[in-house]
Amino acid sequence: MAKIGVAGKAETESGPLTIRIEDGIAHLTLQRPDKRNALNDALVEDLRAFFAAPPEGVAVALLSGSGGHFSAGLDLSEHVSRPAPEVMKHSRHWHSVMDTIQFGGLPVVAALEGAVMGGGLELAAAAHVRVADPSTVFQLPEGRRGIFVGGGASVRIGRILGPDRMVEMMLTGRKYDAQEGLALGLAHYVSEPGGARAQALSLARTIAGNAPLSNYIVIQALSRIDDMSRADGLFAESLCAALSQTSEDAREGLKAFLEKRKPRFG
């Protein structure tokens, strides 16, 4: 397990995931460059452990990969001989981990470059903001390998692309570059060459300056409202508005606006 430091201090440790915490931002780096950061069980467990209990004082997580790639997907060398019940349990565990990343309440900004494929794209889709370097290549190669997605792609990526385009993507093994991914919603930004991490860090700092409760409600509510009926979604929106607009942070935000200064949220 990667070592977790105290907010405001930088600490690193070797392992499949390294964590450096500085000024309220946790820099999480996938560290399997010889495998293009393919996701093995140890790496997924490190991600689960961090997002299940983020250190106090961390406001945003910045997720990236080492060696010029984000992640080329699932490390298939670990899964050649799994029986069907174990494959299903493994998939359900991935769903749990990805849900913890998406709905844990901590905003996650992903800096993407090189391979963002298969399970790596599933991991990226669990992040809330995605910045792609021009070198980024998006792909779901499972259909060409005789297998099916298992880390949540049929839901998360299917809702980004729509089922028709995802079917074509998986049947053909089609690759999308950064600009195409931007147009499809797989990325929210495309950086200058080599600039994905810097732009992601800038966005992470902006998000860290928001009211914590506002960030939490945005993360928890919007994707769930998308699953609701129109009437239920509107009712949930009213509850979220009532919680946020009566908070101390809301009062500070209004006061700061009137005083023409930046708010100082708790």
Positions marked active-site: 122, 142
CB 131 within 8 A of CB 196: yes
Backbone angles phi and psi of 241, in degrees to 5: -65, -40
Report residue 126: phi and psi, to 5°.
Answer: -80, -15
Q: What is the DSSP string of 216-248?
A: HHHHHHHHHHHHS-HHHHHHHHHHHHHHHHTSH
Give the integer Cα–Cα distance in Å for 217 and 219: 5
Degrees to nearest 5, angle at CA 157 with 96 and 159:
105
Q: At what angle do helices 84-103 and 41-52 cross, to 10 degrees?
A: 30
What value, to the nearest 5°, has the Cα angle with vertex 213 and ends 211 and 215?
70
C-alpha span between 237 and 235 (Å, rounded): 5
